[in-house]
Amino acid sequence: MLKQRVITAVVLAPLIVALIFLTGNALFAALLGLIFLLGMWEWTRMAGVRGYPLRLASLLGYAILFALLWHVCETAWWWLPVLAGLAWWLLALLWLTHNRFASQPSRTHALLKLVAGAFVVVPAWCAVVVMHGDMARPDSGRGHFWVLFFACIVVAADIGAFSAGRRWGRTKLAPAISPGKTRAGVYGALVCSGIVGLVGGVLLKVPAKLLPAIVALALVTVLFSVVGDLFESLIKRHAGVKDSGALFPGHGGVFDRMDSLVAAMPIFVLGKFLLGL
């Protein structure tokens, strides 16, 4: 399993870097939207939607939201959908504490999870598109590097969580939702992301007085990524599946690779903006 995860990561890493640095913002937004839609195709199944026509209709609805918000992302109101994403993840914390909510298969619960899916992915897509194009500060011209910095924070957290969890993981984080996650894993994720936050801040020439704030933002970002990971685990538990899909050997499906990212993106972009970066 570990070997498969490493091989998959090695193959995907250059593709992700190419997506970030070799595309203009419109193409980046379109390609990222397609990737997110692949993940949402898996989400519709986990939500309990039966039949390809209904799943395709749901996917079309998500695509229309992306298209509509593209125009919003180019305006001074870009923060509104991103803020909606932050609000959603705070609400998701409440859902996690009542993990049996909407667990039984029904049309109402499926519809609820489809709506939740919109709040999961659409604000995240908007956030990273804004950051990639640096639409909040179009004079900076460093959006590509900030997207890479964000990705490195989340990847470092994933590595730290996996390593610390294997070595010291005895106390479960949320056994009723995801028995494999441990508190030690969270601590490992925070340590690694904090280091990357500091090093990345220096490389991006963040003013010294703001470096502690960048490290703090990296830590908060990772905490939200943990919420995203747990929330997908909850939805998978409701659906009775181990992975969202099987596209990536050792990693699962597309949404299994998105879960922590989509929760972390809105908080990181809002924090970056509030810090004047």
Alpha-carbon distance 273 to 178, whole Å?
A: 33
Mean pLDDT to the nearest integer, 7-29: 87
Where residue 127 falls (left for φ over 0; alpha for ψ -120 to 50; beta otherwise) is alpha
Instruction: Quick: pLDDT tens for 64-82.
Output: 999 999 989 888 899 999 9
What percentage of the chain exceeds 70 in pLDDT?
A: 94
Q: What's the sign of the alpha-carbon dihedral 114, 115, 116, 121? A: positive
What is the H or E stretch that residue 173 is in?
strand 172-174
Judge if pTM exceeds 0.85. yes
pLDDT digit string, tens, across residues 82-102:
999 999 999 999 999 999 999
- pLDDT at residue 253 tops 90: no
Average pLDDT over residues 239-265: 83
Lowest mean pLDDT among 38-52, 130-144, 246-260: 130-144
pLDDT tens digits for range 122-151: 999 999 999 998 755 554 558 899 999 999
Per-residue model confidence (pLDDT) at position 169: 87
Question: Is pLDDT of 29 > 70?
Answer: yes
Which range (137-141, 157-161, 189-193) has the least confidence? 137-141
Q: Which residue intervals of the chain are DSSP H helices? A: 2-21, 25-47, 52-73, 79-97, 107-133, 143-168, 183-203, 211-239, 254-274
What is the pLDDT averaged over residues 251-268? 88
